[in-house]
């Protein structure tokens, strides 16, 4: 599902912030964000811009310059990040619907394009960028689970399910596939040409993935996180680079394989999967409690060092439900 970076919403709640006279905390879906006191009322419509939104240089966004100015691929704009104000976590930005200039919106509508808002993408090292031979294949789903804050309406229903939980690693999304005799390597957005220096292809050769996937005798894709030297500042202090896998996708049936089958295939291929933290997990009562659970040390923390994990990925055992909870501690330390 394409991420809605800016959408029309209803303000669900407003609460005071202890010791703050000019600001308060608003709740939109499952997100908490700081707003000016009395600027909005519960039930008001507004535009919610998620964290990682990149807003264009426009007069109505100039108030963000001091805290949020960035350049992305040489283009100036404003990046929204998780921040803390007067002790309160704030994630995103609320804008009045008047910025739509009278447009007849519907609630929940994606207005990102209308406002010129795109996803912030940090600079990609040349070794990861590679040479694209095409866009990400249409026959494989991209790995981009919904954030739990956007699932507040169905969260209570999800509490009836049993999930398994994996650590979300701080790396770069990697997909390797074998389809009708063709082996392919993908970054998050592109199907990559084989080149000597590209990190995704280097790992494919080192792990002998072309031969291993061909030997399975089916059209299949493995998805994981590329980690190690030169990737996201290598928080796990890993020598060279490797991939920890989290999905096996059957291309012909368009289905993700179950946890047990996934583990069997990864073991059969002599590969490694991401840390599996719990195979019989039930959701806590609230989204806020789950976000606290997402905080903690990474399983891959090197000896004597605490590396805050990026968060958790929660999947139902039947693979029909999948979403993520990102650690606020991790986000507050993000560059």
CA distance 191 to 178: 12
Segment (H or E) for 262: helix 259-268
* Cα 224 to the center of its chain, rounded Å: 13
**Residues 124 and 200 sit within 8 Å (Cβ to Cβ):** no
**Residue 120 to residue 104: CA distance in whole angstroms:** 27
Residue ranges, the chain, pLDDT below 50:
none
Question: What domains does the chain contain, in order, with CATH numbers?
Answer: 6-119 (no CATH), 126-332 (3.30.470.30)
Instruction: Read off the pLDDT of residues 223-273 as tens digits, 9 standing for 90 and up.
Output: 999 999 999 999 999 999 999 999 999 999 999 999 999 999 999 999 999
Task: Please report the pLDDT score of residue 174 as a whole number.
Answer: 97
Chain centroid to CA 240: 24
Task: Judge whether 314 and 294 are in contact, CB under 8 Å.
Answer: no
Structural contact between residues 217 and 240, judged by C-beta atoms closer than 8 angstroms: no
């Amino acid at each position: 599902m394409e991420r809605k970076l800016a959408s029309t919403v209803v303000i669900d709640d407003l609460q005071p912030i202890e010791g703050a006279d000019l600001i308060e905390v608003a709740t939109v879906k499952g997100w908490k964000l700081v707003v000016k006191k009395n600027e909005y009322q519960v039930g008001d419509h507004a535009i919610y811009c998620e964290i990682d939104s990149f807003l264009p240089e426009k007069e109505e966004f100039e108030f963000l310059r001091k805290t949020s100015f960035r350049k992305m691929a040489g283009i100036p704009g404003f990046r929204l990040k998780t921040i803390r104000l007067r002790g309160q976590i704030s994630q995103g930005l609320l804008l009045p619907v008047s910025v739509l200039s009278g447009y007849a919106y519907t609630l929940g509508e994606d207005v990102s394009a209308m406002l010129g808002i795109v996803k912030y993408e940090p600079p990609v090292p040349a070794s990861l960028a590679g040479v694209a031979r095409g866009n990400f294949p249409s026959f494989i789903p991209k790995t981009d689970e919904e954030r739990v804050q956007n699932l507040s309406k169905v969260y209570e229903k999800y509490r009836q399910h049993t999930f398994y939980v994996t650590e979300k690693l701080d790396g770069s999304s990697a997909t390797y596939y074998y389809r009708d005799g063709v082996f392919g390597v993908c970054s998050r957005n592109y199907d990559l040409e084989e080149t000597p220096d590209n990190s995704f292809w280097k790992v494919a050769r080192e792990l002998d993935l072309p031969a291993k996937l061909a030997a399975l005798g089916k059209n299949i894709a493995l998805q994981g996180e590329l980690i190690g030297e030169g990737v996201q500042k290598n928080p796990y202090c890993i020598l060279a680079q490797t991939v920890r896998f989290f999905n096996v996708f059957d291309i012909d049936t368009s289905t993700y394989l179950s946890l047990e089958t996934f583990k069997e295939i990864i073991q059969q291929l002599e590969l490694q999967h991401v840390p599996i933290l719990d195979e019989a997990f039930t959701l806590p009562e609230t989204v806020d409690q789950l976000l606290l659970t997402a905080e903690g040390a990474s399983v891959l923390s090197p000896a004597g060092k605490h590396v805050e994990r990026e968060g958790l990925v929660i999947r139902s055992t039947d693979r029909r439900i999948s979403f993520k909870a990102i650690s606020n501690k991790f986000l507050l330390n993000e560059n």
